[in-house]
Structure 1
Amino acid sequence: MSPFESQTLPLFPLSSVLLPGAALGLRIFERRYLDLIRDCGRSGGGFGVCLILEGSEAGQPAIPAAYGTEAIIEDFDNGPDGLLNLQVRGARRFHVQQTRVRDNGLVVGQVQWLADDDQARLQPQHALLGTVLENILEQMAGAGASLGPTHLQSAAWVGWRLAQVLPLTPQQRLAVLQEDDPHARLQMLLQSIA
């Protein structure tokens, strides 16, 4: 499927933002989301994660932000409490064109896929951000955490990983997610830590 093509995608509104390449753990207990996971298993597809603008994660359908990230299921198991635990990873970004709510309360969006990031290298004015991220990754590795292979010369990779690990508000992460230009994302992040 090419960028800018429109597709129907089930949405999982959350109080956090999933970024491309980031891992996220989810506990599934509501029928609408169990149905969503079953459908994803049958189709081999993912679902969309969007920040909640109004409402909450459980109960009545929440109003999602207009931008989100496709979640691909990497692993799942049943927890000791009997709930389904998922491990997902962020993939493609999308823009929600319109939404509807199914009878079971699941929000479904008509989404337009956004273009993949270009392979631009870090510019000199953002070199400090690469160093900051490298230091954070070294500390995380010492604590047993890992973000996988590093690509510290890639403007897009550095931007997504910094937005993942810096103490940003969900609204700041959403602003980063909405930005198409990797260098503009890095500038936003630089301003947030300045």
Structure 2
Amino acid sequence: MTAKNDVPAMPTIDIPLFPLDAVLFPGGEIALRIFEPRYLDMVRDCARDDSPFGVCLILDGTEVGAPATPAAVGTLARIVDFSTTPDGLLGIRAQGTQRFRLARSRVRDNGLAHGEVETWADEARVEMPVEFHLLATILERLLEKTGSVHAKASRERFDDAGWVGFRLAELLPLDNRERQKLLQTTDPLERLAQLMHTLPRFQSG
């Protein structure tokens, strides 16, 4: 019997890793400034091969310098746009796709971490239960206020428990450890329940 929170694992793949002080969710986007040679090489290779890299939250260490210790669960990212930042550096915009679990990692001679990862299948679509409709309403207001890329999402998106949960996890002022826990949660309704528990913290007055 498969446990409720088990996620079917897909084949293992080898990818470059980009540990960050941020959590990327499936369907989300992240903007990055690229200046270290190891990551310039990574972007070049990913662009050439149309291949993803892995975004993982840093558990120990920093984004710059010595390789950091990444969280075991991260998200595949695909580059969708390039730009030049105001300070003349390379900028990229990457979109989150599938989540993965890191099976093993190594550091190449250039300091770039690589990992063998087990990708997770996409979550099955689950309709928003009535008890979580408040979360969908809050998400609509946040998207309008922030001008997010998802601000013009179709109505049916707000009936998708997984999509609503991921978008709220991005937008609510949570700390990264909380976001990581939400990323690792494999039941969309459990994720919404966790988010409901955080709401009193953000109520004014």
TM-score bucket of the superposed structures, by smaller chain: over 0.9
Residues 2-151 of structure 1 correspond to what in structure 2 (within 5 A)? 3-140=9-146, 144-147=147-150, 148-150=152-154, 151=157
Contact 1:51 1:174 (8 Å CA) reproduced? yes
Say whether 1:179 aligns with 2:185: yes
Shift of 1:137: 2.3
Partner SS, residue 158 of structure 1? helix
Say whether 1:170 aligns with 2:172: no
Shift of 1:3: 4.5
Alpha-carbon distance in 2 for matches of 1:46, 1:146: 21
Alpha-carbon distance in 2 for matches of 1:32, 1:110: 18
Alpha-carbon distance in 2 for matches of 1:162, 1:146: 13
TM-score, length basis structure 1: 0.93
Shift of 1:138: 3.0
Say whether 1:161 aligns with 2:167: yes
Task: Rate the CA distance shift 1:146–1:82 in 2: closer, same or farther, 3 A.
Answer: closer
Contact 1:3 1:116 (8 Å CA) reproduced? no
Gaps of at least 5 residues in structure 1 are none
Contact 1:17 1:51 (8 Å CA) reproduced? yes
Instruction: State the AA in 2 paired with 1:127.
Output: H
Instruction: State the AA in 2 paired with 1:131.
Output: T
Deviations 1:39-84 (A, max 9, x none): 1012111100000001000000001000101111110122343311
Partner SS, residue 4 of structure 1? strand
Report the RMSD for the aligned CA atoms in angstroms.
1.4
Shift of 1:119: 1.0
**Percent identity over the alignment?**
46
Partner SS, residue 139 of structure 2? helix
Alpha-carbon distance in 1 for matches of 2:67, 2:173: 28
Gaps of at least 5 residues in structure 2 are 1-7, 201-205
TM-score, length basis structure 2: 0.88
Q: Number of matched residues?
A: 190
